[in-house]
Structure 1
Amino acid sequence: MAQVVLVTGGTGLVGKAIEHVINTESVGSKFGKQAGETWVFVGTSEADLRDPEQTRKLYEKYKPTHVIHLAALVGGVYKNMKYKLTFLRDNILINDNILHTAYTHKTAKVISCLSTCVFPDAVEYPLDETKLHGGLPHHSNFGYAHAKRLVDVQNRQVAYKEEFGCNFTAAIPTSVFGPHDNYDLESAHVIPALIHRCYLAKKNGTPFVVGGTGRPLRQFIFSYDLAKCFIWMLRNYDDVEPVILSVAEEEEMSVKQIADAIVKAVGFEGEYSFDTTRSDGQFRKPASNKRLLELMGGFEFTPFEQALDLSVKWFVENHDMARTGKTA
């Protein structure tokens, strides 16, 4: 039977990365397209996944045998704090429609994308797959985190695995960056937001100001590396237990280290400071990738500076078409 892989959120950061890997790796290779395989990448222009009828029509149009579910309402820390209910409701609707339509259309496999922000705020580090539901998430991601946690609940604890035997699972990436990111200054995550701010500061001869103290720590995974992990999961992983997709916990970096690296990559030589009146968000949330590496048999991640240089280069070359929002 021919395999049709539908990627929701296919025009975003991770969707574009999966498309890049599928189209550039050798056919039949570990991460390349397989014989008889069709990949379909869809974005919001094709269907509003909050609407069950539009979701149903999307499934009927493409008849996917497999789904990588990336579509979500996402944003940086300040947007998450401002619109907690919107993030909760929209993501619950999107996820429920995707999973239930996959069930009714007998889709063989669904991999949904979660985030490490779903983990409890008060937890013993490093994070691992067993700690997902052990307490409340950080207040800055409260709505989004609860909506994403419910995907794991739906996958196994109340319905699809236990009641219907569906092969639904989830991936939990740490912070992702790379080409085709969201660079809107009001909603972007830390790396694309800082790249955009630094680019504008260099272009306009203005100071480069970083929100917060620069002390919080994060693990970052390059989107092309994450894409390969998703492709591996699609073909080789059939357990309902989510898998953390991340670099090692020892590779945590502070926001200041990130900003310093961006200053270097952009070639910015002006005034550079931190606005300590802005919120830092959660201080750290280190995650273990031990289970991932045991399952995959090892994986070579792209060195951070190399990945950052590629990301900055893409943004500079594609600024006019990038998702930048208003810059005035």
Structure 2
Amino acid sequence: MSNTAKDSKIYIAGHRGMVGSAVWRALEANGYTNIIGETSKNLDLRNQQAVIDFINAERPDIIIDAAAKVGGILANNEHPYPFLMENLQIQNNLIDAAHKANISKFVFLGSSCIYPKFAPQPLKEEYLLTDSLEPTNEWYAIAKIAGVKACEAIRKQYGKDFVSLMPTNLYGPHDNFDLKSSHVLPAMMRKFHEAKPTNAPVELWGSGTPMREFLHVDDMAKAVVFAVENTLPEHLYNVGTGTDVTIKTLAETIQEIVGHKGDIVWDSSKPDGTPRKLMDSSKLEALGWQPKYTLSKGIVDTYDWFKANQIDYKKIKM
């Protein structure tokens, strides 16, 4: 039974992104009627005073922080400073404004990259800060760790319901399919899609051997709704499926669903990233949340959305 009223004013920061838009849909599906968002054009979350003014004017009951500067290995490697600084600015402004406005519930969304590169598998919440990070995305990870600790500190010192949810690799409708800044699954999907008409070979980074776990964004959104509707006893929860696949298996699965018949060429001169990253989500599951999507069903859903909504970058008629 939810302890949150359906007319509670809920502000989603980053409501137009993949995660934020999924959370909005999930809240609406659960009967919430007072959801608000603001575009980056009208509200720059990196601007502290602008965030303070917005929160003070709107006075939301709940804030969900789904806003972040995100990207894959390439983007993180080439732009370390904005990945560190802009994420710090966004989350610090939101967390501090929420605290000062005495907002009692805040849901902070992060990433599994907060955990050490060679932490035991599957990743448990208590492994945070026990070893060094993966170098290719440590800038983003350090920012998100700071957000987790800020929420923990407010919870510890002031008793407010500030909670952090750390998803594994997310994918789904409204994902980023730009090859320079996207994550592995949508990048593969676009590459296979564009190569499909001629079945040209598709080149992919790395060796294909790392293991990765993937969670459909609608399952993540339901975890956020679960956090909104319940007072969770701890400050940090992993959100994943509990199963992982090799990058090679992922590529072959996407290739089959897209219908590409050509070769896959692995460029082993490119970095693999962390060897394995599997989440232990048993704490959240024990409280009542469960993922629903299988990987293949989720990829079909995402590819259907991609075909219906994405421009064809190379003007290929499918």
- Structure-1-length-normalised TM-score: 0.89
AA at the equivalent of 1:152: V
- Whole-Å Cα distance in 1 between the matches of residues 157 and 290 of structure 2? 35
Q: Check the 8 A contact 2:63/2:105 in 1, yes or no.
A: yes
Structure 2 counterpart of 1:121: 117
Q: Percent identity?
A: 25
Within 5 Å, give how 1:35-184 maps onto structure 2. Answer: 37-157=33-153, 160-184=154-178
Structure 1 counterpart of 2:295: 304
Deviations 1:265-304 (A, max 9, x none): 11112232211121111111211111111011x5252111
Pair 1:293 & 2:289 matched: no
Structure 2 counterpart of 1:18: 23
Pick aligned residue for 1:210 from 201, 204, 212: 204
Q: Check the 8 A contact 1:8/1:68 in 2, yes or no.
A: yes
Task: Report the secondary structure of 1:151's partner residue.
Answer: helix
Q: Aligned in 2, Cα 1:45/1:240: closer, same or farther, shift over 3 Å? A: farther
Task: Report the secondary structure of 1:3's partner residue.
Answer: coil
- Whole-Å Cα distance in 1 between the matches of residues 234 and 283 of structure 2? 14
Q: CA deviation at 1:205?
A: 5.1
Q: Check the 8 A contact 1:15/1:41 in 2, yes or no.
A: no
Task: Report the secondary structure of 2:238's partner residue.
Answer: strand
Structure 2 counterpart of 1:189: 183
Q: Check the 8 A contact 2:167/2:238 in 1, yes or no.
A: yes
AA at the equivalent of 2:205: G
Q: Check the 8 A contact 1:155/1:240 in 2, yes or no.
A: no
Pick aligned residue for 2:253 from 261, 285, 307: 261
Q: Check the 8 A contact 1:173/1:244 in 2, yes or no.
A: yes
Q: Check the 8 A contact 1:170/1:240 in 2, yes or no.
A: no
RMSD over aligned Cα atoms: 2.1
Pick aligned residue for 2:307 from 311, 316, 322: 316
Unpaired segments ≥5 residues, structure 2:
none
Q: CA deviation at 1:132?
A: 1.1
AA at the equivalent of 1:122: F
AA at the equivalent of 2:305: W
Q: CA deviation at 1:206?
A: 3.1
- Whole-Å Cα distance in 1 between the matches of residues 84 and 227 of structure 2? 27
Q: CA deviation at 1:39?
A: 1.0
Deviations 1:84-124 (A, max 9, x none): 22211111111110001001111121010011100012322
Q: Check the 8 A contact 1:221/1:246 in 2, yes or no.
A: yes
- Whole-Å Cα distance in 2 between the matches of residues 246 and 141 of structure 1? 19
- Structure-2-length-normalised TM-score: 0.92
Structure 1 counterpart of 2:216: 222
Deviations 1:27-47 (A, max 9, x none): xxxxx124xx41123342331
Pick aligned residue for 1:283 from 275, 282, 301: 275
AA at the equivalent of 1:315: F
Task: Report the secondary structure of 1:279's partner residue.
Answer: coil
